[in-house]
Structure 1
């Protein structure tokens, strides 16, 4: 059996009450669509979590899962990153990308000089930010927009970034 090509889709956040409910951070376009996949997998591609109930509360998913009967059990899985096999997802549309496709790409400036490497893509509520580790110096964030990232070449595993606004 081959190891699946995993896509990071959710993460266990904090407990919600004492009865085993917890907040689930979903990184899907539609947060509830994560519920369509079961079981959710761990980073090794092994079954990790089966959600049995879910509701929305103040913009967050509150869920209950098999084998998580109380707050103590939630505390044991807090921070668990959850994945699905890429083969279960549709192909992204033009100008859409899975974060896992961007991580590790080389970043070049508009003049063609290598700038660094994409380490992650984060979203703290104001849009997607590309975390770039430059060839020298500390990492920096760049808003993932058409202006700042005019080119993404999935086949060559490289992006072009416009650093003139930094």
Structure 2
């Protein structure tokens, strides 16, 4: 299980006082308002940062960190992910899971036949779509709806699905 979860990616500096535009990679960008600490993954090291203030602009979150006060300090961190520890993650509702925990899970059909491995989860407007790598069928896109996804067993690492007519 992943211990660090990505909540956003720095896209570019915003202004000259050390603020950055962050593209949120979380389902709930408003969660940045409650965020006090993040981890900046530079690729070489992980830096602990304190969030000073947050505001919103179009689809972006504008974040000011206490550690950076001008554009020159923060500019080199473009395209770096922002992470949170699992303890600082948003609490999940029933039947909600972190995508990072689901990737790699075995997918079986309701009769117990091995179908494939979950390789990705795509977010769409209506519902998520599971991307399943199947040896027999190649890449299969399955809507993450109750009619198709019968059970997600995180402990055993198995997702049980119903193959609707026309899906394959």
TM-score by length of 1: 0.74
Matches within 5 A, 1:67-146: 67=68, 69-70=70-71, 73-74=74-75, 76-89=76-89, 92-135=92-135, 138-146=138-146
Aligned length: 161
Larger deviation, residues 98-107 vs 53-62: 53-62
Give CA-to-partner distance per residue, 1:63-117, whole Å, 9 cap, x none.
233337328944x323322221113346533211121221121111223211211
Larger deviation, residues 48-57 vs 104-113: 48-57
Pair 148,36 (structure 1): closer, same or farther in 2 beyond 3 Å: same
Rounded to whole Å, the distance in 2 between the matches of 1:89 and 1:53 is 18
Rounded to whole Å, the distance in 2 between the matches of 1:98 and 1:109 is 22
Structure 1: 5+ residue runs without aligned partners? none
Greater per-residue strand proportion? 2
Structure 2: 5+ residue runs without aligned partners? none
Give CA-to-partner distance per residue, 1:3-27, whole Å, 9 cap, x none.
x822222222x32655354332324
Asked if 1:15 is matched to 2:12, the reply is yes
Whether the aligned pair in 1 keeps the contact of 2:12 and 2:22 (CA below 8 Å) is no
Larger Cα-atom Rg:
2
Pair 33,98 (structure 1): closer, same or farther in 2 beyond 3 Å: same
Pair 138,156 (structure 1): closer, same or farther in 2 beyond 3 Å: same
Larger deviation, residues 51-60 vs 143-152: 51-60
TM-score by length of 2: 0.74
Q: Which residue of 1 aligns with 2:60?
A: 60
